[in-house]
Amino acid sequence: MASQKVLSVDDEEDIPELLKFNFSREGYQVLCAESGEQALRLVRSENPDLIVLDLMLPGIDGLEVTRRLKNDPNTKNISIVMLTAKGEKADIVTGLELGADDYITKPFSPRILVARVRAVLRRKIKGHLEQTSILRIYDLEIDRGRHEVLVNGKPVQLTFTEFGILNYIARRPGWVFTRFQIVEAVRGEDYPVTDRSVDVQIVGLRRKLGSAGKYIETVRGVGYRFKE
């Protein structure tokens, strides 16, 4: 963990100090930036593993910082946790769709923030699951190569789109995906996937999975996640 760098980007003087104290105590290296411009410079010179990013920053705001980082092949894989006073559902959806891994609103608990950051980094380390053909999780087995799903050892017949959605969200347990993200990731050949049709697909998927359908959780006003 000592090799992992966390960059705190916030123009409120007390928050970077608070984060530096709490994250350093957990063994992380901590960098601090007060503006979007400074954050972008530090990202390119220090290559942090994760950024705790405020949205309301002087100059380049947090959303634009996220957009630039995610559009750059050299920085798109850096994890971002948004920490902001903007807590409306529309703000959360926008942040997630731009590529943030998590979204925490102020006021916040430093202990919860550290735990959420640790979870994001843990999922990142386990990202090799994305590349494996077979995923076994709970009582599910998803074989991407054979396009096959087993529940308690019994095959479940899914459409191309249903399989794509399940495979996409199950390989990142705990991550919240907006409907737009699911649409972008899953281009159904047997069904025209749209923002609205995702809900219909989820209903059908849960029904076919039976008891395993409970692992697909609804995040009200945002989207869906696979139970962690």
Spatial CB neighbours of 24, under 8 Å, sequence gap ≥ 6: 30
Q: How far is CA 175 from CA 128, 133, 142, 189, 219, in A?
A: 16, 20, 18, 25, 10
Task: Supply 111's token pair.
Answer: 């202990």
**pTM across the whole model:** 0.65
In CATH terms, is domain 5-127 a member of 2.20.25.10?
A: no
CA distance 8 to 54: 8
> Does pLDDT of 189 surpass 80?
no
In CATH terms, is domain 132-226 a member of 1.10.10.10?
A: yes
> Does pLDDT of 130 surpass 60?
no
Q: pLDDT tens-digit profile of 88-113?
A: 778 888 888 888 988 898 889 999 99
* Dihedral pair phi/psi, residue 32, rounded to 5°: -130, 140
Q: How confident is the model at residue 7 (pLDDT cuts 50, 70, 90)?
A: very high
CA distance 12 to 53: 12
Fold equal for 5-127 and 132-226:
no
